[in-house]
Chain A
């Protein structure tokens, strides 16, 4: 398993002063696997994402992506190596258009320098038409093509959530980190999102790490579930195993109501 894992977290610990936000977490994610991180608020789930992206430094432990050590790299470097992410509180570029949100995300695909941009060189023209075509294609796949020229901040909430996922995809990631993509969605939207997430794995050969509080979604899409509490892993297994685990029920899920 460890040999073929796309993402390997080895005894990762993240501390903020005296607080240990992530405590000795070890986790392997295989290619095209969907692993969910669940747990109560403040369990350290988003901190795991930030540690992978390099937003927070590790106090100890290591992170490898496709066998390459990425601990200590700046977020933009981690992103360039193939990690895309969405945020718990949507962080779209609200003041620019939907299309520009995607083209901004395709930044690393651009292969011309400033002078060529200023002179509108041939490389500029070729790259720009390629980026625009790819962006429109992605928007079409996610049913957002009619919104291309609208400001991202003007989109309805559900579409903003979707656009954020598309924007992360536009970077061409191997690994996608989704932070509560269903937050604030109604049941129908969540249902739609569930199908979308599964189809992403097929279509883009993605590996996904998902943080989510909506248990229906988690149980429906995950290959594996890891439960955190106070930064520690308290359980890991298939959705069925997790749903029956007494420690998880006590810390997070709660007793079924009779």
Chain B
């Protein structure tokens, strides 16, 4: 990948990369001093949701393959990496705990795990991507839903990863640097893919698969690729999530999580930047609404009602843009001819 002259192409961007890294380091060091654990956790969840939703956007928004099993891929990445850490990682890394290079070793280790979790999830993506070649629209959605449920049920029954009691004692290796860094890299990579021959091939398939094929686009290859790439990033997010919360349970990755991600993609209207914003908003909003109960001195917590009402309002007010890229396109009648 790096023939000598290829480097020069990246030189003008080194400043940008260094700047982003510096900000991330600052965040890594500074935020834990400013915010309490609760707020930090919400921030981490928001970053994970950004990774998850923007990768789902590649499948649902760009390629137009309606998937509602994305949490299943997250589960694969989370369980795969968490199991490695619980079974081996903690012992491997124990000697480095007190050394000055410790944090670096742990970070390198976690990056390896992110890759591992991502690849494991990508294999799952391949398994789901294959039926997508024969299924469309609602039928594909049901198949992906089934996949997500299968993953959950399998995890509930595998004792090696805790079964129905969940997997405890996952070391907290995720740092803000890695979590936010992964979110930035994911969004940038997916944006760049979108603006390439590959991204346009996916858009073409979403718009009209028959026409795309007639232009030399291998739709089977691309539809499968969309699932594989989307699943990879979901697996990465799963790994980061597991190594932050330190406890994972199959129910953290159930149907409701998948739906939440679809919701974010729909709210973002299939546009990557808006999807990222929506991901953050959907993470913060229910938490922020916890305050309402106290502010209004209510007996019961109205936050889910308000949350739902806000979602409905957003859908009504921005319906066209929201739905533009996401819903399976219905033919607008054969307009003439």
| Chain A residues close to B by CB (< 8 Å) | 53, 55, 74-76, 79-80, 84-85, 87-96, 100, 103-110, 112, 114-115, 117-122, 124-125, 127-128, 131, 157, 167-168, 170-171, 180, 183-184
Q: Is the pair B9, A125 in contact by a Cβ cutoff of 8 Å?
A: yes
**Chain B residues with Cβ under 8 A from A121's Cβ?**
6, 9
Q: Is the pair B192, A117 in contact by a Cβ cutoff of 8 Å?
A: yes
* B: interface residue count bin: 35 or more
**Chain A residues with Cβ under 8 A from B203's Cβ?**
93, 95-96, 100, 104
**A77 and B162 alpha carbons, distance in the complex (Å):** 48
Q: Is the pair B196, A128 in contact by a Cβ cutoff of 8 Å?
A: yes
**A95 and B336 alpha carbons, distance in the complex (Å):** 18
Q: Does B218 contact A (CB under 8 A)?
A: yes
Q: Is the pair B214, A53 in contact by a Cβ cutoff of 8 Å?
A: yes
**Chain B residues with Cβ under 8 A from A112's Cβ?**
196-197
Q: Is the pair B334, A105 in contact by a Cβ cutoff of 8 Å?
A: no
**Chain B residues with Cβ under 8 A from A110's Cβ?**
196-198
Q: Which of B152-201 contact A (CB under 8 A)?
A: 188-190, 192-193, 195-201
| Chain B residues close to A by CB (< 8 Å) | 1, 5-6, 9, 188-190, 192-193, 195-201, 203-204, 206-208, 210-219, 225, 229, 324-325, 329, 334-337
Q: Is the pair B193, A105 in contact by a Cβ cutoff of 8 Å?
A: no
**A88 and B337 alpha carbons, distance in the complex (Å):** 7
**Chain A residues with Cβ under 8 A from B217's Cβ?**
76, 104, 107
**A32 and B104 alpha carbons, distance in the complex (Å):** 66
- Determine how close the nearest CB of chain A comes to the CB of B311; give it in whole angstroms: 24
Q: Is the pair B9, A122 in contact by a Cβ cutoff of 8 Å?
A: yes
Q: Which of A53, A89, A96, A117 contacts B198 (CB 8 A)?
A: A117
Q: Is the pair B196, A107 in contact by a Cβ cutoff of 8 Å?
A: no
Closest 6 CB pairs of A and B: A110-B197, A117-B196, A93-B207, A79-B216, A122-B9, A118-B189
**A115 and B196 alpha carbons, distance in the complex (Å):** 11
- Determine how close the nearest CB of chain A comes to the CB of B266; give it in whole angstroms: 16
Q: Is the pair A118, B216 in contact by a Cβ cutoff of 8 Å?
A: no
Q: Is the pair B193, A117 in contact by a Cβ cutoff of 8 Å?
A: yes
**Chain B residues with Cβ under 8 A from A89's Cβ?**
334, 337
Known: A112-B196, A120-B192. A76 touches B213 (CB 8 A): yes
- Determine how close the nearest CB of chain A comes to the CB of B243; give it in whole angstroms: 24
